[in-house]
Every structure is written in C-alpha cells, then in structure tokens.
Amino acid sequence: MNPPDAASTAMLDPVSADHAAATPAYRRILLKLSGEALMGDDQYGIKREVIDRIVAEIGDVMRAGVEIAIVIGGGNIFRGVAPGAAGMDRATADYMGMLATIMNALALQDALRRADVESRVQSALRIDQVAEPYIRGRALRHLEEGRVVIFAAGTGNPFFTTDTAAALRGREMGVDIVLKATKVDGVYTADPMKDTSAVRYKTLTFDEAIVKNLKVMDATALALCRDQNMLLKVFSISVPGALKHDLAKVRTGRAHTGLLDHLHVESYGASVPLSQVARVTLADPRTIGVQPFDKKMIPAVEKAIRDSDLGLNPA
C-alpha cells in the first residue's frame, strides 16, 4: 500500500467504506443461545435481568434491519434435574432436555413481547397449544416479515445437540452467519476459566477445531457448518452489548472509527491493537483515515484491514 501523501495516511476506499456502513454485513443471522446464558451467576433457572438484557440487544439488532433466528438450549433447566437423571436412558434424558428448551423459548418469547419485539416459537416436538410446529416455509415467512423466530426442542431427535440444531436450522434458513453465544469471548486453546495460559484463536478452520477437539461446538455441528460453507463466530454473551457491538461495526449509516476497534496488527512479531500503531480518524462521513506512526507498518495495517470481516479495501 503506497501512502497517499508524506504523512503516510492510509484512507479506506470511500465507496467500500460507505457500502459497508450503509449495508448490513449480515442480512440474516442465527443466534445459538445456550440455556446457561439465561441463568447468569445462578446455579440453574432463568435470571430476569439477564434475559431482559439479552432481549434488549436482540431488539436493537432486529430494528436495525437484521433478520434473526434463535436456537436455544435447555441446560439451565435440565441442570436442576440432572442428578435425578443419572443412569437414565439417554433418549429419555434427551427428550427431557428438549422440553427444557421449549420452556426457555417461551420465556424468551414473553421477554421479547414485553420489549415490543414480535416473535414466534417453532418446536421440533409437536406441542401445538404453546408453539407452532417447525415448518421451514412458515419460519422463512416470519423472518421476512420482521419477526424473530425461536427454534425449540433441538432437531426433535435424541442424540443430537442444540449445536447441531443451530447448524441445521442455520442452513435451512439460509443465514449469513451463525453466532454462538458463550461465556467467553472466542475460542481458546483450553478453557480460559480453568487454564490461565489458554490462548485465544483469532481465526480457526472447522477442521482444526474438530482435530484439536476444542469443543466450541460438537463435531457433528462443526462438520455441518464446514460442509455447508457457513460462517461461525463465537462471542461472549456475558459482556453487556457484545451482540450489538459486533453487528454495530457495520450497521450505522455512516463511516465511523469504531469499525476498526477490534483490528489487531502484526508488529515486530506481536499482535497489537491497531490503535497502538496508527492514528484512526474520521476524515469525512464516508472516509476513515488510518495514519501509521511508522511508515514501515503500512503493509501490515493494509493486510489487517483486508483480512478483517468488514469488507473494506484500503486505498
């Protein structure tokens, strides 16, 4: 990348920046929400303030023009009965888990209703008094009409996790990306809650995740995502604003410096935030200026921008 002037200021292509700022990066997403995410720091159950915060973020993203489907787990409820399920037939236990996801889906739907967000619950198990049966065409129509669709009861089959259900429904709904909400901000070499030396991956292939048994999702779900060329992103739902922040980087109607907040640049063998090696400014409503402190860093800055998921081309 050649600097446009002696000040070594790298300008993002105004057309590309404007396109990314005005057009959603993802038209339709699937959010995989674990049951544990709803219980906060409680041992089991649903914590009202936690579900209300999650719903507020979902509502903001939906009102910004993104179609949202959700696959929800049931661990927060099943955990309470797990001791009594010890030694139980696996299929029976799995069906109990599916019923737990239906309970969570109804609670999420009610919270969305209170937040003035229209939604529908579709269940893979027939329970017509409280939820629609899963019908692909109807689910697609709900999404197109601006409703959040909550998929409950997993795939409706024992021996398959809600992770696999997320990959399956994501493919059926034609989503642009599957966002998996967890308690950590990405995929690590080990559980960062237990191993302080765990290192976070910036990017990872599905094959690497399967071979290394990283447990970000079960192997069946990862293989389905891989085979169907679906994008998967892991983020922390425990951080207030995390979902909104990730999508907001491409959701505003004008360029803004926050688009580049998450970028890291290779500098002398280390990965450092872009803000440590360059000054980022808003040159005008359509142009972001990036001025590396050292001209030698321009190729690295250019590479970081090109390799990001923002769809921007530095000029």
109 to each of 69, 119, 143, 210, 305, how far by Cα in Å?
Answer: 12, 6, 15, 33, 38
What are the two backbone dihedrals, phi and then psi, of residue 123, each rounded to the nearest 5 degrees? Answer: -110, 140
Examine the pLDDT at 10 and tell me if it is beyond 70: no
Residue 17: pLDDT band by 50, 70, 90 thresholds?
Answer: very low
Q: What was the pLDDT predicted at 179?
A: 92
On average, the pLDDT of the chain sits at 82
Helical spans, DSSP H, in the chain? 14-22, 48-63, 75-81, 90-114, 136-144, 162-173, 206-211, 219-227, 242-248, 298-307
Whose structure tokens read 């990730």? Answer: 246
Q: Mean pLDDT throughout 92-108?
A: 93
Instruction: Give the separation between CA 277 and CA 10, rounded to whole angstroms.
Output: 13
pLDDT tens digits for range 160-188: 999 999 999 999 999 989 999 887 778 88
Q: What was the pLDDT predicted at 4?
A: 40
Q: What was the pLDDT predicted at 70?
A: 97
- Length in residues, the chain: 315
Q: What was the pLDDT predicted at 117?
A: 95
Residue 46: pLDDT band by 50, 70, 90 thresholds?
Answer: confident
Examine the pLDDT at 2 and tell me if it is beyond 70: no
By three-state DSSP, how is residue 3 classified? coil
Which one has a higher pLDDT value, 20 or 213?
A: 213
Instruction: Give the separation between CA 179 and CA 232, rounded to whole angstroms.
Output: 6
Yes or no: say if 69 and 29 are a contact pair by the CB < 8 Å rule.
yes
Q: What was the pLDDT predicted at 16?
A: 41
For the chain, what percent of residues have pLDDT higher than 70? 82
pTM greater than 0.75: no
Residue 49: pLDDT band by 50, 70, 90 thresholds?
Answer: confident
Helices and strands in the chain, H and E counts: 10, 12
Tokens read off for 144: 């197109």
Examine the pLDDT at 194 and tell me if it is beyond 70: yes
Q: What was the pLDDT predicted at 14?
A: 37
Q: At a CB cut-off of 8 Å and minimum separation 6, what does 108 contact? A: 33, 38, 51, 55, 70, 72, 119, 150
Pick the most confident of 132-136, 215-219, 260-264.
132-136
List the strands of the sheet with 287-292, edge to edge.
10-11, 287-292, 278-284
pLDDT tens digits for range 267-309: 887 888 888 888 888 776 567 888 888 888 888 888 888 777 6
Instruction: Give the separation between CA 151 and CA 69, rounded to whole angstroms.
Output: 7
Residue 5: pLDDT band by 50, 70, 90 thresholds?
Answer: very low
Examine the pLDDT at 251 and tell me if it is beyond 70: no
| DSSP at 9 | P
Quote the distance between the C-alpha of residue 17 and its chain's center.
Answer: 22
